[in-house]
Structure 1
Amino acid sequence: MKIIVQKFGGTSVASEEARIAVKDKVQQAIRNGFAPVVVVSAMGRKGAPYATDTLIDTLKEANISVNVREMDMLMCCGEIISSCVMAATLQKYGINAMALTGGQAGIITDSQFGAARIKNIKVSYLMRLLESGIIPVVCGFQGMTENNFKFTTLGRGGSDTSAAALGAALKADCVEIYTDVEGIMTADPRLVKEANILEQISYAEVCQMAYNGAKVIHPRAVEIAMGSNIPMYVKSTFSDAPGTLITSESGGRSAGSEVVINESCASGVANLSDLVQFRIELNPTDFAAGRNLFEDLAAAGISVGCLNLSEKEAMFAVFTPDQERTIKVLDESGFKYVCNTGCAKVSVVGSAMRGVPGIMATFVAALAAKNIAILQTVDSDTTISAIVKEEHLVDAVTALHYAFKL
């Protein structure tokens, strides 16, 4: 049996017209000889009546301090509504489908409400349904604890994670992630009009792009697929475009019906906004100062990024909502520091950059040509990032996209 997992995001199930498009994708998979497992997100985005954020607001109207168990139980409702409506739509068109919660589909998690981790997937029931010609329509984003049968949610990007995990457990031929864009792009098209759709990209590259701000797919889902070497596709529900293949090897970008091999060794430019940069003085004779600083930040629940550490200085960035807590930690610990607000991070990602001379020179020259000050850089084998002022973000992304010939 050839199994395919097809995940559809909130916009793909939000209207009757969209759900008919989903039905067409499911029928096409059946015609191609696959047994589909459908995974759905909650219907619509914030403001829509059954969107997860809307349900949360309804609960907080009753009690702003909601118990985490009740919060997870409520957040599961959006996907349950979506799976029932999508199953009913498929049934209307003669497709034998059955709605399942994450727990009914066999997704067993730990009991960390709001950010549960999948411990196991019991696929026997899903396999019986598939062998009987029934298409499971599974609630994404959720699972169930093993012993006390409590609903749990998987955190941000949970529906992508559900689809990847089901694909791995079922030994699926591939996982398709359907959304409202035609694939993974070389940059955010809202910032760079000339951004191109990538025909193929490696697991590692798309993870780096996601961690650095690209929002098409969650990196945890990609990591699960990478662990099982399952090909993933990012496609549009609303077109027949081939989408982007995520696999073990990087590829090129799409130009009509041709594939353009990436001349620059880079695959894309990603960006994050709403950052605050801190520069902290360190005493070079106090070897414990840096350790104490980061222990204190961790104890306060503050996650830092873009970290540079030397004898005399530490530099890092936090998201703006963490600014005041960071300042409190630094003040209480007696550190001298400079706080740079209104910052952004721009990153060039590409596994083929590894060991290539001149990559940093190209990066720095592109920003210098636009008179964009680099406040800080951080790099790895596959990523070069810079902290810049947020007012320069669009120019920075555009300049790097052009300089790296994306």
Structure 2
Amino acid sequence: MKIIVQKFGGTSVANEQTREKVLEKIIGAVRQGYLPVVVVSAMGRRGDPYATDTLLDLVRKTNPKVPRRELDLLAVCGEIISGVVLVAGLLERGLAASFLTGWQAGIITDDHFGDARILRVEPKRIRQLLERNIIPVVAGFQGMTEAGEITTLGRGGSDTTASALGVALNAEYIDIYTDVDGIMTADPRIVDKAKLLDVVTFNEICQLAQEGAKVIHPRAVEIAMQKNIPIWVKNTFSEHPGTLVTGNQEAQGNNGVKRERMITGIAHIAGITQVKVVLAQENGITEQYKIFHAMAEAGISVDFINADPQMVAFTVKDDLAEKAYSILANLGYQVYLTPGCAKVAVVGAGMTGIPGVMAAIARALYREQINILQSADSYTSIWVLVKNQDMERAIRALHTEFYLDQ
């Protein structure tokens, strides 16, 4: 069986007109000889009647402290509505189709309500449908624990469902349909010369997604990497071939020319606060542990970490900054906050082992008189921390510095 997985996001299934385009994509796959497994998100976004956020707002107006277990029971309804409506459209066009919830599709998760992780996939029921030439339409974003509790997979959960099913079914590839033509070199709302990427590696898109690019969830990419199953990021509303996400760093683009680039794209995350903690020099190692342990105990996620014997620096979301400050001050530390910061990431597998990348970043920001508050790197990324008001200029300057607009 030539199986593919097609995932359609909320904007793709938002109304009757957009669902027509979805049906065309599914029918097109069937005509090409594939057996599609379709994964759907809830219809639309906050404010639309069946969107997940709309449903959650409904109960939170009554009680903002409803337990996550109950919220998950409500949250799964959006995908169920969406999936049944799509099955109705396929049946009306003469195609056999059947809807499955996440748990009926065999998605088994842990019990972390609101952000569950997939433990395994048991796709027996999906395979039975495919063997009878029935198109399975699966609700994304949801699963069930061993104990029978319904769970949701957190933001980007439908992408995660699609990748997990793709791996479990050994699919030819996974299509992630959205409302853009593919993955861009930067946010086109900030950089008007941002270019569409023909091909990126799994590692590159994981970094871009983790650093703020919102086209695909990094967890979905990490799952697809397990079996090196290609992902195509495409536009439901156009015929553009989209962006190929692959494990082959030497993959060819749509024009048949092998890519030779050092930097793939620029990503960003705004609304974060830098936290600096002064350490007692005679006991730096112990103090470092105490600081990060205190943050973990308080459920505060820290990022962009630099540590030395005199000082620890890290970032938290702006809305957690005062909580972090209070905890650390109560422990007796001298703490300095710099709110209103942004993390800008330069990402590219081609930078590994290449000297001068940080120098180029510093040069581009120096020209714009942008101060680097903090920096860090990995083998595929270099991050700089800047003030929010400098973020867009920084992104545009780096995009130009690395010739991404050419």
Q: Please state how far the C-alpha of 1:391 moved relative to its aligned partner.
A: 0.4
Q: Conserved in 1, the CA contact under 8 Å of 2:344 and 2:395? A: yes
Q: Conserved in 2, the CA contact under 8 Å of 1:199 and 1:251? A: no
TM-score by length of 1: 0.96
Q: Tell me the distance in 1 between the aligned counterparts of 2:258 and 2:335.
A: 45
Q: Deviations over 1:53-82 (max 9, x none)?
A: 110011123322212221111000000001
Match of 1:231 in 2: 230
Match of 1:87 in 2: 87
Match of 1:218 in 2: 217
Match of 1:46 in 2: 46
Amino acid at match of 1:145: T
Q: Please state how far the C-alpha of 1:250 moved relative to its aligned partner.
A: 3.5
1:283 aligns with 2:280: yes
Distance 1:33 1:262, change over 3 A: closer
Q: Deviations over 1:285-311 (max 9, x none)?
A: 113111111111111111111111111
Q: Tell me the distance in 2 between the aligned counterparts of 1:121 and 1:376.
A: 41
Q: Please state how far the C-alpha of 1:278 moved relative to its aligned partner.
A: 1.4
Q: Conserved in 2, the CA contact under 8 Å of 1:37 and 1:136? A: yes
Match of 2:245 in 1: 246
Amino acid at match of 1:182: D
Q: Tell me the distance in 1 between the aligned counterparts of 2:119 and 2:83.
A: 23
Q: Conserved in 2, the CA contact under 8 Å of 1:60 and 1:66? A: yes
Q: Tell me the distance in 2 between the aligned counterparts of 1:379 and 1:325.
A: 27
Q: Please state how far the C-alpha of 1:133 moved relative to its aligned partner.
A: 1.0
After TM superposition, the runs of 4+ consecutive aligned structure 1 residues lying more than 4 A away are: 251-254, 259-264
Match of 2:264 in 1: 267
Matches within 5 A, 1:4-403: 4-147=4-147, 149-250=148-249, 258=255, 264-286=261-283, 287-403=285-401
Q: Conserved in 2, the CA contact under 8 Å of 1:39 and 1:139? A: yes
Q: Tell me the distance in 1 between the aligned counterparts of 2:331 and 2:197.
A: 47
Distance 1:289 1:370, change over 3 A: same
Q: Please state how far the C-alpha of 1:134 moved relative to its aligned partner.
A: 0.6
Tell me the secondary structure at the aligned position of residue 175 of structure 2. Answer: strand
Q: Conserved in 2, the CA contact under 8 Å of 1:199 and 1:259? A: no
Q: Please state how far the C-alpha of 1:259 moved relative to its aligned partner.
A: 6.3
Q: Conserved in 2, the CA contact under 8 Å of 1:196 and 1:253? A: no
Q: Tell me the distance in 2 between the aligned counterparts of 1:118 and 1:86.
A: 25
Q: Tell me the distance in 2 between the aligned counterparts of 1:305 and 1:178.
A: 30
Q: Conserved in 1, the CA contact under 8 Å of 2:329 and 2:335? A: no
Q: Please state how far the C-alpha of 1:213 moved relative to its aligned partner.
A: 0.7
Q: Conserved in 1, the CA contact under 8 Å of 2:325 and 2:335? A: no
Q: Tell me the distance in 2 between the aligned counterparts of 1:144 and 1:305.
A: 31
Q: Please state how far the C-alpha of 1:251 moved relative to its aligned partner.
A: 5.8
Q: Conserved in 1, the CA contact under 8 Å of 2:277 and 2:311? A: yes
Q: Please state how far the C-alpha of 1:252 moved relative to its aligned partner.
A: 8.3
Q: Tell me the distance in 2 between the aligned counterparts of 1:202 and 1:40.
A: 25
Question: Which shows bigger deviation, 280-289 or 341-350?
Answer: 280-289
Q: Please state how far the C-alpha of 1:231 moved relative to its aligned partner.
A: 0.5
Q: How many residues are matched?
A: 403
Q: Conserved in 1, the CA contact under 8 Å of 2:272 and 2:318? A: yes
TM-score by length of 2: 0.96
Structure 1, unmatched stretches of 5+, are none
Q: Tell me the distance in 2 between the aligned counterparts of 1:386 and 1:259.
A: 34
Q: Please state how far the C-alpha of 1:383 moved relative to its aligned partner.
A: 0.5
Q: Conserved in 2, the CA contact under 8 Å of 1:76 and 1:142? A: yes
Q: Tell me the distance in 2 between the aligned counterparts of 1:347 and 1:291.
A: 27
Q: Please state how far the C-alpha of 1:187 moved relative to its aligned partner.
A: 0.4
